[in-house]
């Protein structure tokens, strides 16, 4: 059984339920929020190990939420969950401090692999480079001018 707490933030109830079922089956403790504003409140309450954060939500979108979470906790581990066609927003989220991203509809193995990777990351470097930026630089499939890998569902 894992001691790790994951905060799932998505306005779609079925997505939260689907993620919850997968994560609890794999030993994670799960908390939920249906928008960015509630995610900020819940983050302060439970201090989760990782936040799975949708981009497009009412009240407060995922980009704004990443920025606010990073102000609260610069070491926050955030994974964006994005629909295809949101590559500009994914880039903005990574630059704002998100560690990684997962495309919807997601593959359960991809979620578990990404969670494991982010949970085992080293703390951010003091030079000010965000962990997500480092991950993008290490990922040979990432090209800032070519987003075709997003449209193909690669990650």
Nearest C-alpha neighbor of 31 from the set 20, 21, 41:
20
The answer on pLDDT for 79 being more than 70 is yes
Tokens at 105, concatenated? 């509809």
Residue 82: strand pairing partners: 103
Most confident of 37-51, 75-89, 138-152: 37-51
For residue 141, the model assigns a pLDDT of 39
What is the DSSP track for 114-126? HHHHHHTPPPPPT
In the chain, the domains with their CATH numbers are: 5-123+130-151 (3.40.50.2300)
Mean confidence (pLDDT) of the chain: 80
The answer on pLDDT for 106 being more than 50 is yes
Residue 31: strand pairing partners: 7
Torsion angle of the four alpha carbons 40, 134, 83, 27, in this order, in degrees rounded to the nearest 10: -60
The answer on pLDDT for 51 being more than 80 is yes
For residue 134, what are the CA distances in angstroms to 58, 95, 108, 121, 126?
30, 10, 24, 11, 13
The answer on pLDDT for 142 being more than 60 is no
């Amino acid at each position: 059984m894992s001691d790790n707490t994951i905060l799932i933030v998505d306005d779609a109830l079925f997505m939260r339920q689907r993620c919850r079922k997968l994560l609890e089956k794999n030993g994670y403790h799960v908390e939920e929020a249906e928008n960015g504003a509630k995610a900020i409140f819940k983050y302060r309450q439970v201090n989760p190990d990782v936040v799975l954060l949708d981009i497009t939500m009412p009240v407060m979108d995922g980009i704004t939420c990443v920025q606010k979470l990073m102000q609260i906790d610069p070491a926050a581990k955030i994974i964006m969950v994005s629909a295809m066609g949101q590559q500009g927003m994914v880039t903005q989220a990574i630059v704002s401090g998100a560690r990684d991203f997962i495309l919807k509809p997601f593959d359960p193995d991809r979620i578990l692999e990404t969670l494991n990777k982010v949970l085992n990351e080293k703390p951010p470097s003091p030079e000010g480079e965000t962990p997500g930026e480092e991950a993008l630089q290490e990922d040979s499939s990432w090209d800032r001018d070519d987003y075709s890998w997003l449209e193909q569902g690669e990650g």
